[in-house]
Amino acid sequence: MFLVELIISLCLVFGALIAFIGALGLVRLPDIYSRLHGPTKASTLGVGATLFGSFLVFTFFHDGISMQEALITAFIFTTAPVSANMLAKAALHRQLPWVKGTQNPPKPVGNGAEQQSAEN
């Protein structure tokens, strides 16, 4: 049982560390396009590792396999990237500025986008 407890502890610590790094990325990165990466990684990797640790707790120390943990993990893995993609599309649509040093900056959208692409 010591090995199972060690794996559970490592999953929880890893999940908390990734969530903390994601929160730092949200605060420290310069523009919205960069800031989207921190919370998305934190929600998929950090919460996923924490839920996997919780799944192991219920599997080994309680009544058996917990379907709630598996369903929550599937829901988060499905919705987090989709919501980040929708936020990025909304930022592009509103033409929010990006940092000048960004590689491959977003292309303009909406009014005038056709004219600019024809000029290039």
The predicted-structure confidence for 8-56, as pLDDT tens digits, reads as follows 999 999 999 999 999 998 899 888 888 888 888 888 899 989 999 998 9
Closest CA to 51 of 4, 2, 16: 16
First to last CA, the chain: 64
Residue-wise pLDDT for 50-73, tens only, equals 999 998 998 888 888 888 888 988
CA distance 75 to 27: 26
Give the start-to-end residue ranges of the domains of the chain: 2-119
